Amino acid sequence: MVKKLLHTRMRVNDLDRTVKFYVEALGLKVARRHTSPRGAQLAFLQTPNSEEEIEICQLPDSPAVQVQPDLMHLAFEVADLAAFAAELAKRGHKLTDGPTRTSTGHTIAFIDAPEGYEVELIQKG
């Protein structure tokens, strides 16, 4: 039986650009970086108030990553979506969809991360 979720891995073409986005736009922290035994460049990102990490992976000599539309996204809770969006804009990042009020009373919005991955921002209602 599984004990808990440890991390989610996302493969990218440009590790440094992707890590910079998550650190600068969302305020995540780099927990560690290293090269795997198979030669993959890895960076593990920490999210506030979560034990799970996001593993960003760049594989050498691999075909380019081509993220399909709406394949997957990461979702993060924010306290004040309007304030968070204003801060994102100051850092050069715009919402790509929303904000939208859901039937559950939450407000959601999206931004695009490098490589075509999508990030959902949720303000609980």
**What's the pLDDT score for residue 71?**
82
**What's the pLDDT score for residue 100?**
96
**What's the pLDDT score for residue 81?**
97
Q: Mean pLDDT, the chain, as a whole number?
A: 94
Q: Which is the catalytic residue, given 55, 77, 87, 120?
A: 120
- As a whole number of angstroms, the distance between CA 100 and CA 10 comes to 26
Is 120 one of the catalytic residues? yes
- pTM for this one? 0.91
Task: Extract the residue ranges of the chain whose pLDDT is less than 50.
Answer: none
**What's the pLDDT score for residue 95?**
96
